[in-house]
Amino acid sequence: MCPLNLVIVGSGIGGVAAAWDAVRFIPDVKVKLIGDEDIYVRHKIRYVAHGLDISLDTSHLESNGVEIIRDRAVKIDRNKRSLQTERSGEIPYDYLILATGAEPSKPKAPGAEFTRGFRRKEDVEYLAREKPQEVAIIGASYVALHAAQTCKDLGLLPYVIVRSRLIRKSLEPELSEELERRLKERGVEFVHGKLQKIEEDGPIVDERKVRADLTISAIGVKPNSELAKDAGLELWWDNVKVDQQGRTSDPRIFAIGDVSNCYDPITKRIDYFGLGTIATIMAYNSINAIKGSKGALRTPRYQKDVFFKDVYVKSIGFTSPEAEKAGFTPKRKEIRGEEEIAYLVYDEPTGRVIGYSALSKGDTGYKDLLVLKAVLRGMKVSEVLEAIQS
């Protein structure tokens, strides 16, 4: 029997995970992993400011026969089942996985061309090399705070431009406020207001000019879905539309990670989270589907970060405002410890836990896993509180 030709486009966390799962789980497979940048751990880019090497060791892939090709894919020919690349010509496939990720979105305000993203290691190398003394960061997401922390680590002054509140989609309102207070104490400046425009020497927020040598846009991402779009694959907004196993509208093509939609196990609806945790789970699901297995693993939105060594921020599933928007009747239970403030969010009619967000001084990893399990299993708030307190 001929080996199965699996071609993966994109060597970010999703592509690398898919390549590794393929050689582990598909018996006779030939994997080509095509990527246009160095292979590294994206969520660790801020450590580049400390001179750390964040490259991902791929020797386990190569020693298991994965061919890593530094190239850019430009076109998919679905009839011929082949991928056109810039330098390596046409590459035939039996199955294709698109793991092309996403790029930072530009603000809609005039002057967006003056902004830079914060997604690639080159973005941190640029900060370290050019040392822009004052840096405006548009957006209040986890990524914006990574950028702010990187600036502080490099001795630069970050101004975070916030339209509503910090990490709005993942934190309860009180936690956003408390997080801002803690980060202010550690030297991050915040400017609240609506971005009007961006000039070469910084943005204008409401009526105020925020002077900056560099403006970073951290307002979200835009999926790299052009290959799929040009090949006529179905999209969901700008993302490649996939089923729960990651299969696109062409059963020979899968899409995983930031380029595709995902499924929220809480609402059981199609959604988009843009997280590495989701990309790795989707990689696993797509390889299982190619192998012929049914079913798919699922995970809710789950994020955990540490800023300035002692500001731990965690979030799972829904906040109460987001839960309300999604049609739940959310209630909260506050959990206060000496070192921690947390909120469990549950749906009142059923008592089912649907979210959690927390701010702490140290790691409370066991609690996150407990809540994660509770959310996935649909456990009741009373059961979760009992488990946490025991």
Ligand X SMILES: Cc1cc2nc3c(=O)[nH]c(=O)nc-3n(C[C@H](O)[C@H](O)[C@H](O)COP(=O)(O)OP(=O)(O)OC[C@H]3O[C@@H](n4cnc5c(N)ncnc54)[C@H](O)[C@@H]3O)c2cc1C
Output 212 or 281, the one with its CB closest to ligand X: 281
Stretch near ligand X under the rule CB under 6 A, chosen from 36-44, 133-141, 199-207, 352-360: 36-44
Query: Quick one: which segment of 47-55, 133-141, 173-181, 273-281 binds ligand X (CB under 6 A)?
Result: 273-281
Does position 231 interact with ligand X (CB under 6 A)? The reply is no
Q: How far is the CB of 295 from ligand X (least distance, A)?
A: 22
Shortest gap between Cβ of 117 and ligand X (angstroms)?
Answer: 8
Between 257 and 265, name the residue whose CB sits nearer to ligand X: 257
Residue nearer to ligand X on the CB measure, 148 or 210: 148
Min dist. Cβ of residue 56 to ligand X (A): 11
Is 303 among the residues that bind ligand X (CB under 6 A)?
A: yes
Sheet of 73-77: strands edge to edge? 73-77, 82-85, 90-92
In the complex, the smallest distance separating the C-beta of residue 272 from ligand X, rounded to whole angstroms, is 11
Is 276 a binding residue for ligand X by CB under 6 A? The answer is: yes
Quote the least distance from Cβ 304 to ligand X, whole Å. Answer: 6
Q: How far is the CB of 318 from ligand X (least distance, A)?
A: 17
Residue 300 touches ligand X, criterion: CB under 6 A: no
Among 19, 29, 33, 73, binds ligand X (CB under 6 A): 73
Q: Residue by residue, what is the 3-state secondary structure of the chain?
A: CCCEEEEEECCCHHHHHHHHHHHHHCCCEEEEEEECCCCECHHHHHHHHHCCCCECCCHHHHCCCCEEEECCEEEEECCCCEEEECCCCEEECCEEEECCCEEECCCCCCCHHHEECCCCHHHHHHHHHHCCCEEEEECCCHHHHHHHHHHHHCCCEEEEEECCCCCCCCCCHHHHHHHHHHHHHCCCEEEECCEEEEECCEEEECCEECCCCEEEECCCEEECCHHHHHCCCCEECCEECCCCCCECCCCCEEECHHHECEEECCCCEEECCCCHHHHHHHHHHHHHHHHCCCCCCCCCCEEEEEECCCEEEEEEECCHHHHHHCCCCEEEEEEECCCEEEEEEEECCCCEEEEEEEEECCCCHHHHHHHHHHHHHCCEHHHHHHHHHC
How many chain residues touch ligand X (CB under 6 A)?
Answer: 35
Q: Is 48 in the site for ligand X (CB under 6 A)?
A: no
Residues between 240 and 269 that touch ligand X (CB under 6 A): 257-258
Choosing from 146, 332, 352, 367, the residue that interacts with ligand X (CB under 6 A) is 146
Candidates 5, 25, 36, 385: give the one binding ligand X (CB under 6 A): 36
Among 227, 262, 354, 359, binds ligand X (CB under 6 A): 227
Positions touching ligand X (CB under 6 A) are 9-15, 34-37, 42-43, 45, 72-73, 99-102, 119, 142-143, 146, 224, 227, 257-258, 274-277, 279, 303, 305
